[in-house]
Amino acid sequence: MSDVPNVNFFLEYVNNLRGLPEDDKYRDMFGEKRKFYSSTKENDYLKYVQTGSKEITDYVEYSGNSEKSHGVFNQNGLMSPEDMKILRKNLRVTESVIWHGVISFTEKFGNTYCDNYEKAFEMMKQEMPKFFRNCHFNPDNIEWFAGLHENTDNKHIHFSFFEKSPQRYKRDCERLCYSDGFLPEKVIARAKASIELNLMKISFNVNEKRKLLTEELKNIMQTGVYMNKINSLVIILPREGRMQYDSENLKKYRPHIDLIINQIISNNDELSKKFYAFNSILSTRDSEMVKAYSRMKRDCSDLLLRDKCINDLYRRLGNIVLYSVKQIRQDQMKCEFETKKRLQIKRIEKNKRKALINRCMQLNDLVNREIINAFEDYQALLERANNARLREEGYLD
């Protein structure tokens, strides 16, 4: 198992140089750098974050390939030109230290868990306030911005932040002061672990996968390709005892029920791809979770969700199939009773088939609703498990 961390978090800062003599060594050493990060020169850091321009690399370690930026964002989302105009004004007048950094990912991890703006934005919106609190900042007093960059090697997020107003008490200062630039290494280490787990959680995009699975189930259900197997189940299932997927009474019929569920999914190439993509996301997420916690020498078996979610999904869908079988039986018995009185045997069979088709069509909506409920439950389960572990490790208050 590789010990290379999936997430790296690099942070530096530039001090405010106002008030220093023109010949001061710090002004001479860091004056141009402060101008770059405080937007007091044309090609500034904000422009670099926005465009990924190769030319604007005086103080940024360039990756060596042509970078693509997904735009500048803050806690409210992508910033408009007017938003950036206000940000530049604030950067130019602030007397705060300006912190700047990059969050970088291994190629595989970045391509899996932080491959678009939406994931980067959600992660930063959640993680930056936690990071600020752990640094003993007031998150409401921090102005920050970031941008996701990518090249042929890896994806990474450039970011910067500063204090809006002085809020520190210092012994040698008669008034409130801005913070010093130094931030504890242990806070940065916590941020790395928290970011890694957060991205894995975000990539478990339940709403997206739920939509992919449910939209096409309607067409599959209505084709009747699995009706013969449903009809077979109507005939062979016992008529007494507990009719639940996990009941001992139905243990030997479970493979038949699973076959119906599998056929609903596999008879459509697109639906099959999306289902197995969902399965792959869970498997990859569990694998990355094991790696992350292994580096911390912690057990994460209680956080592994792939088997739990897939087994639970089959259980829930299996119960929907069994409910439909019960309804089909009732409908067919009713048809048989009513038509036998008139001795119309052909109509008996016709009405039985009609009852089967109607219930299979209704099964569509039942399965869709159950999948939605199931995925919402899995999302809540994942969030609870992650939050519990993060609190235990001290990453969450």
pLDDT of amino acid 270 = 60
The CATH code of the domain at 7-203 is 3.30.930
Q: What is the pTM of this model?
A: 0.55
Extents of the domains making up the chain? 7-203, 206-393
pLDDT of amino acid 221 = 46
Which parts of 174-305 fold into alpha helices (H)? 185-203, 206-223, 227-236, 254-266, 269-295
Q: pLDDT digit string (tens) for 15-27?
A: 887 655 555 556 6
Residues, the chain, total?
397
Contact 146, 120 (CB under 8 A): yes
pLDDT of amino acid 62 = 41
pLDDT of amino acid 65 = 47
For residue 371, CA distances in Å to 200, 314, 316 come to 21, 10, 8
Residue of 314, 310, 309, 276 lying closest to 382 (CA atoms): 309
Q: Is 295 helix (H, G, I), strand (E, B) or coil?
A: helix
Q: pLDDT digit string (tens) for 127-141?
A: 999 999 999 999 999
In which residue ranges of the chain is pLDDT below 50?
1, 58-59, 61-65, 206-207, 210, 218-223, 340, 342, 395-396
pLDDT of amino acid 191 = 92
Q: pLDDT digit string (tens) for 259-311?
A: 888 877 776 666 576 677 777 877 887 888 888 888 878 888 877 888 888 88
What b/e readout covers 118-150, taking b as 16+ CB neighbours within 10 angstroms?
A: ebbbbbbeebbbbbbebbebeeeebbbbbbbbb
